[in-house]
Structure 1
């Protein structure tokens, strides 16, 4: 029986997962539960690994596949997706060839099995070796070379196959002193350590005591840069999953976390309860939320294309939504304009997006300053980043790119700018 082929169920799960991402344009994390329903333990882990490596190396896989066929397969052909998955197993996971072939052919179903078998046979015989740096899909390959230069674009591409480390932020100096020695790792900035190797997060020392939470080093910067003081009224807009809310609460501010998703806010509440920190949570569209009184500071980590998170989310470069920026740009502008009205005169806001696209960062702030003369940039000084590598602009905003800190595991790509509402 075909269904009794060892490992086939994991491959079927990977196929469902990839078809959800590539054909239905669903984010990988959102597609996981349905696509991998019924898979447990090693099979579930294998399915996810196949899908992730397929997305990371897809342009290279497609070049190899097209070199073996007289006429290119359609990009949405079932046979092409099966071949991509097979190459992820052969060239990245180093799965034995016989296991790859025996589990690939049943996935073709009524498609061209002979063609798939022939392509796989040829590529197995050729003993292909992947390059050190994967090719980026278009339009990103060209766009990022033009924006950041060839060397930086290559470092971004290299980061797509980099395993993201675990960054831990401590609730207090006392917690850092107590738990950092037990956790080990490397101290990249004050109040945080990076672990290159770990197993279950919940089993790590200090987790049960609420002494820390997980947050990428770049994602920590917006809350650091807003410089929240004890007792200040601060809002974290678009707050989920809540790392910035925890930072602001740990600084002693009176925090309101606003997010449109009740489900995502539940995760914020759970982390507040675990860490013993206090913040109000409000499930509401941040464009419509009104603060009871003017705020001292706001952190706005706006919805965006999320291209800066490609280390953790290899699907992002293949999602339709990441390529169509117009709806996101309009949403970001609305959020910025509304948020600034919530500030007292002299109040400050850090605007951030985990995107590598200038339209969502630099151009968005330039447009804001053009249409709103009551707002000024508050330049971010190099020493404010706690020693984290960043790109500082002459205007005073900053960027992180996934290729930075490459020898230490990289970091997410972010744009950040600090703004001040001036007195009328």
Structure 2
């Protein structure tokens, strides 16, 4: 039987969905194996879009499926996985139902195929729709509580593309030239879909890609002319580039050689200079002192759920507990290296309290550090510090301007 055009993309999407839901892999990890044999860039992009929308709206898709089956399908049943993909295409990607059927039903055989066909057809005849915003899973609701309602509107669509400019003075001119919008000096936001390499200013190294929230930690260290900074856990390097562009002499340390290569490439393209050190931060012994240490710590990355919706379904208490232990070990190292008068910034792209607010309280209880509260006039319009002087962002913030990732940032000074 001839394979319908587009079938390889659906097969790859099912493999990725299975890898995330059953094996707890990230989408990036799952792509490597799932996309083998899918040669068309359009098909590869389609597979990513299908599984991304499926994960973004998974709870609501499951509610629809359960409303049309006499007996609930097990979570790991293949027909449920295929139906999730089918409904995501019809309800989120506007794929015609006949095309969904032609490309997805071949993923099943026998009774499961008839079941999926019947459920999908019934739902299409009922003209079902999804809610205005995605419904969070029970596990996420338990962890995020009332915050989940505010976060959900930021998860409706994948994020746009944020750029950090090497020269903030060029913000207005480049924003106009690129047809984007700017949320602050040194930032431009563009619609997703444009190939990065073809954007104006790429070849001349005028900017790098970095989510707006991820640009904030380095901004909060200010100008660094004549000062040294350690960017701890630096790769892929957006904060290193930002600090160096602001005059800091930067040492970028990370254990991941492959991700450090991305930093090297961006340094070369932008003409920005920084020292790169490949080492384990837990065994590293700096030969020099730093005026500032920025620790953007490894974390569950649940704050990146706009572009990585897999984190909504594969992160739980075990992963959060593992990350908090690693974070505290890295904090111990960083604080030990701080000379008197130096600034320490702790940041994570996590929405979990254990990795953010709880860690900041632990730092203040454990170490001799003076809080350096973040002030409102240091932040872009629309963002405010917490009562403690920390910064907490989440995807529902600035929603009318495209939102931003979830980040937590706190700042101290060594007496």
Q: For 1:122 and 1:83, how far apart are their aligned partners in 2?
A: 12
| Residue number in structure 1 paired with 2:194 | 199
User: Contact 1:186–1:195 (CA<8 Å) still a contact in 2?
Assistant: yes
| Residue number in structure 2 paired with 1:337 | 332
User: Contact 1:135–1:141 (CA<8 Å) still a contact in 2?
Assistant: no
Q: For 1:198 and 1:43, how far apart are their aligned partners in 2?
A: 15
| Residue number in structure 2 paired with 1:115 | 115
User: Contact 2:339–2:414 (CA<8 Å) still a contact in 1?
Assistant: yes
Q: Deviations over 1:335-360 (max 9, x none)?
A: 11110111111111110011111111
Q: For 2:201 and 2:102, how far apart are their aligned partners in 1?
A: 46
User: Contact 2:343–2:414 (CA<8 Å) still a contact in 1?
Assistant: yes
User: Contact 1:228–1:234 (CA<8 Å) still a contact in 2?
Assistant: no
1:212-251 residue pairs with structure 2 within 5 A? Answer: 212-251=207-246
1:110: Cα distance to partner? 5.9
Cα RMSD for the two superposed structures: 1.7
| 2:404 equivalent to 1:411 | yes
1:143: Cα distance to partner? 2.9
Q: For 1:114 and 1:261, how far apart are their aligned partners in 2?
A: 47
Deviation larger for 34-43 or 273-282 = 34-43
Deviation larger for 59-68 or 157-166 = 157-166
| Residue number in structure 2 paired with 1:402 | 395
Distance 1:320 1:143, change over 3 A: closer
| Residue number in structure 1 paired with 2:383 | 390
| Residue number in structure 1 paired with 2:174 | 179
Q: Deviations over 1:235-288 (max 9, x none)?
A: 111111111000111112111111110000000110000000111111112222
Q: For 2:74 and 2:383, how far apart are their aligned partners in 1?
A: 41
Structure 2: stretches of 5+ with no match in the other structure: none
Distance 1:361 1:70, change over 3 A: same
Distance 1:323 1:131, change over 3 A: farther
1:210-289 residue pairs with structure 2 within 5 A? Answer: 210-289=205-284
User: Contact 2:169–2:185 (CA<8 Å) still a contact in 1?
Assistant: no
Q: For 1:252 and 1:120, how far apart are their aligned partners in 2?
A: 58
Distance 1:384 1:252, change over 3 A: same
| Alignment length (residue pairs) | 414
2:152 aligned counterpart, secondary structure: helix
1:198: Cα distance to partner? 5.2
1:258 aligned counterpart, secondary structure: strand
| Residue number in structure 2 paired with 1:291 | 286
Deviation larger for 257-266 or 221-230 = 221-230
**Alignment equivalent of 2:322, drawn from 303, 307, 327:** 327
Deviation larger for 112-121 or 276-285 = 112-121
| Residue number in structure 1 paired with 2:297 | 302
1:370 aligned counterpart, secondary structure: helix
**Alignment equivalent of 2:353, drawn from 338, 354, 358:** 358
Q: For 2:365 and 2:176, how far apart are their aligned partners in 1?
A: 49
Structure 1: stretches of 5+ with no match in the other structure: none
1:319: Cα distance to partner? 1.4
Q: For 1:189 and 1:391, how far apart are their aligned partners in 2?
A: 14
User: Contact 1:162–1:409 (CA<8 Å) still a contact in 2?
Assistant: no
Q: For 1:173 and 1:370, how far apart are their aligned partners in 2?
A: 38
User: TM-score normalized by structure 2?
Assistant: 0.95
Q: For 1:113 and 1:13, how far apart are their aligned partners in 2?
A: 18
User: Contact 1:226–1:349 (CA<8 Å) still a contact in 2?
Assistant: no
Deviation larger for 93-102 or 103-112 = 103-112
| 2:83 equivalent to 1:83 | yes
User: TM-score normalized by structure 1?
Assistant: 0.93
